[in-house]
Amino acid sequence: MRLLLCEDDPDQLRWLEKSFLSIDGYDTYSAYNADEAWEVYQTVQPDVVVTDYQCGGKKLRNGVELIQAVRRVNPHQHCILQTSERGILIPGVPQLHKPYGLRQLLRALRLPVQPLLPLQ
């Protein structure tokens, strides 16, 4: 499984990368902001995109905009939003609230893909 990890916190990104290095069958690709993640996405076409909410770039200002860009290209792309923010609701996208454990993330990776509903 190819994972694209988008995270602006270097410590969190290292934890994610290290976690998946120890699991067979996962290839990880990393980006520090949404613009960089978008470029990687187009090249790699990962199975799952795990993005932080606060990973803004110049074009894509946060993880939600990254997910929206990805889903315009592939409406069935599995995306997971991780955040320490409260009250961010994106219908059809699983969310992980920091701090979370590896088991929670692995469970979210197995969730069926839901359609991205319009934000209200």
The CATH number that applies at residue 71 is 3.40.50.2300
111 within some domain: no
pLDDT digits (tens, 9 = 90+) for 39-77: 999 999 999 999 999 998 999 999 999 999 999 999 889
| Enclosing H/E stretch for 5 | strand 2-6
What's the DSSP call for residue 102? H
113 within some domain: no
117 within some domain: no
106 within some domain: no
110 within some domain: no
115 within some domain: no
Query: pTM of whole model > 0.85?
Result: yes
Structural domain containing residue 46: 2-100
109 within some domain: no
- DSSP readout, 13-60? HHHHHHHHHTSTT-EEEEESSHHHHHHHHHHH--SEEEEETT---SSS
pLDDT digits (tens, 9 = 90+) for 71-114: 999 988 999 999 988 887 788 899 999 989 988 998 898 887 77
* Domain count along the chain: 1
